Homo-oligomer: A and B are copies of this chain.
């Protein structure tokens, strides 16, 4: 019912609202970055790096730059020594982060289910001629 018909083409280039959103948050870490900054307020680079586990400097910086270029996050350099920089959300970024909340809730509620499904999939993978453990497939 309210399955939202908000997906009506309005501007050229995007097929629908979801399409537009995806172009902005496409990227392995962007949603997590947005979400963590939304929760923590202005967040220092190091803190962000620790929060978004397994992200490398290169990727974190890259995604942050794109988010900044897209007007979702704001970078503040305090020009101090040692360096201090923090990242905060713009109003636009804040509104997008709000839209991510349901996704987070969904994950929390269905984490057990997701874990199970992934375990099954990994079990199938390990039956294949695939030596060594780690299966960081994803994305």
Interface residues of A (CB under 8 A from B): 2-8, 10-11, 13-28, 31-32, 35-36, 38-39, 51-53, 69-71, 92, 95-115, 117-118, 121, 138-139
- Among A7, A14, A51, A109, max chain B CB count under 10 A is at A7
Query: Are B69 and A121 neighbours in the complex by a CB distance under 8 Å?
Result: yes
Query: Are B92 and A99 neighbours in the complex by a CB distance under 8 Å?
Result: no
Q: How many copies of this kind of chain does the complex include?
A: 2
Q: Is the interface of A mostly helix, strand, loop or mixed?
A: helix
Expressed in whole angstroms, the Cα–Cα distance for A2 and B97 within the complex equals 12
- Among A14, A22, A70, A92, max chain B CB count under 10 A is at A22
- CB within 8 Å for A107 and B16 given contacts A11-B115, A23-B118: yes
